[in-house]
Homo-oligomer: A and B are copies of this chain.
């Protein structure tokens, strides 16, 4: 895509969207939209896709097994529900694919992988569409979840003084296969919402630094990141990989400083690391600095439109 930048595109698009009706609690711009469906219930809706040769290997001996393609498509969307503190409920999926000679077997295996993960997360597939494409394989999934607690956890709730927390670890998602096998953090997101610990939350899909900037921008705060405190997937993960690799699918969230110790003590997920990796500052909105006060920028000039997983979430 030759879009000048995500920001320039969204800045031109958002004014075209018009006024949202009263039951839209949250419109485009977060991990999910949120709708008030009455009876004190809020539904979360997100959309995400996987594209052959972008999000998985489509051709050749290294082709990703279709079960893992379907699994990844759903897992990415589950991560968006997790980031809002929701419980997944329903999904619809569309697939456009070229004639490959064994489409029916591929499609059934794709759905088997997707549905196995769906069952683990109490989600059902309620609709779909299938079309032929000239060359590529593109699968898109719309997920519907229900917010736990009083309201969804948004990107915009971080307050100066909050501590910054991260589940799991970062870096080297593609080579390690993490991007195909990760466990979406939906139990953790729902628990955080139920316990009302998180003031703001986002899932790390496009690199820790970029997603930290998004949370900081939405909350109109600066974030101070303690890079040395971020757990690495393994010892060979470089500083660049740690900050910018993407596809980590961990939760990054802020917690009132007075509640931080209680959170660490109460965290009930023995197999999911929880790390305090920084805090929220009163500096310029959307800026992420290191502990020495220097502004963090991804080495090489991060541009996620050029990456294999280049994407824009509205």
Report the interface size for chain A: residues with CB under 8 A from the other chain.
78
Could you tell me if A49 and B140 are in contact, using CB atoms closer than 8 angstroms?
yes
Per-residue interface assignment for chain A, residues 139 to 173, with 1 indicating a CB less than 8 Å from any chain B CB and 0 otherwise:
01010100000000000000000000000000000
A47 touches B94 (CB 8 A): yes
- A266 interfacial contact with B, CB 8 Å: no
The residue that A104 contacts in the complex, of B4, B28, B37, B107, with Cβ under 8 A, is B4
Residues of chain B contacted by A138 (CB below 8 angstroms): 96, 131, 133, 136, 138, 140
Q: Which residue of chain B is the closest to A17 with respect to CB atoms?
A: B125
Q: Do residues A112 and B47 form an inter-chain contact, with CB atoms below 8 A?
A: no
> Using Cβ atoms and an 8 Å threshold, which residues of chain B touch A53?
134
Copies held by the complex: 2
Binds B, one of A6-14, A189-197, A252-260: A6-14
- Pairwise interchain contact B140-A94, C-beta atoms closer than 8 A: yes
Chain B, Cβ-Cβ closest to A9: B104
Residue of A2, A97, A133 contacting most chain B CB atoms (<10 Å): A133
Asked if residues B46 and A127 are in contact (CB atoms below 8 Å), the reply is yes
Tell me the smallest distance from the CB of A206 to a CB of chain B, in Å: 12
- Residues of chain B lying within 8 A (CB to CB) of residue A1: 97, 99, 103, 130, 132
* Interface flags, A70-111, vs B, CB<8A=1, else 0: 000000000000000000011011101101111110011001
Contact with B along A103-131 (1 / 0, CB 8 A): 11001100110010011000011111111
Q: Indicate if the CB atoms of B52 and A128 lie closer than 8 Å.
A: no
Interchain CB contact under 8 A, B41 and A129: no
Give the residues in chain B near A130, CB-CB below 8 Å: 1, 9, 311-314
Q: A16 an interface residue at 8 Å Cβ cutoff?
A: yes
A60 contacts partner chain B, Cβ-Cβ < 8 Å:
no
Contact yes or no, B135 A45, CB < 8 A: no
Residue from A38, A48, A104, A144 with most neighbouring chain B CB atoms (10 Å) = A104
Question: Which residues of B have CB within 8 Å of A235?
Answer: none
Please tell me if A18 contacts chain B, counting CB pairs below 8 Å. yes
What distance in Å separates the Cβ of A73 from its nearest Cβ neighbour in chain B?
A: 11
A45 CB contacts on chain B under 8 angstroms: 90, 92, 126-127, 142, 144
Considering the complex, give the chain B residue whose CB is closest to the CB of A310: B132
A128-B47 in contact given A104-B2, A138-B136 (Cβ < 8 Å): yes
Q: Is A39 an interface position by the 8 A CB rule?
A: yes
Would A311 and B131 count as touching, CB distance under 8 A?
Answer: yes
Question: Cβ of A37: which chain B residues have Cβ within 8 Å of it?
Answer: 37-38, 41, 43
Which of B12, B51, B54, B314 has a CB less than 8 Å from the CB of A127?
A: B314
Which residues of chain A from 8 to 58 have a CB within 8 Å of any chain B CB? Answer: 8-9, 12-13, 16-18, 20-21, 24, 27-28, 32-33, 35, 37-39, 41, 43, 45-49, 51-55
Interface pairs A-B: 3 shortest CB-CB: A128-B314, A142-B142, A33-B126
A and B contact pairs by CB, cutoff 8 A, 16 listed:
A2-B101, A4-B104, A18-B115, A24-B90, A33-B92, A45-B92, A46-B127, A51-B96, A51-B131, A54-B133, A128-B314, A130-B312, A130-B313, A131-B309, A135-B136, A138-B140
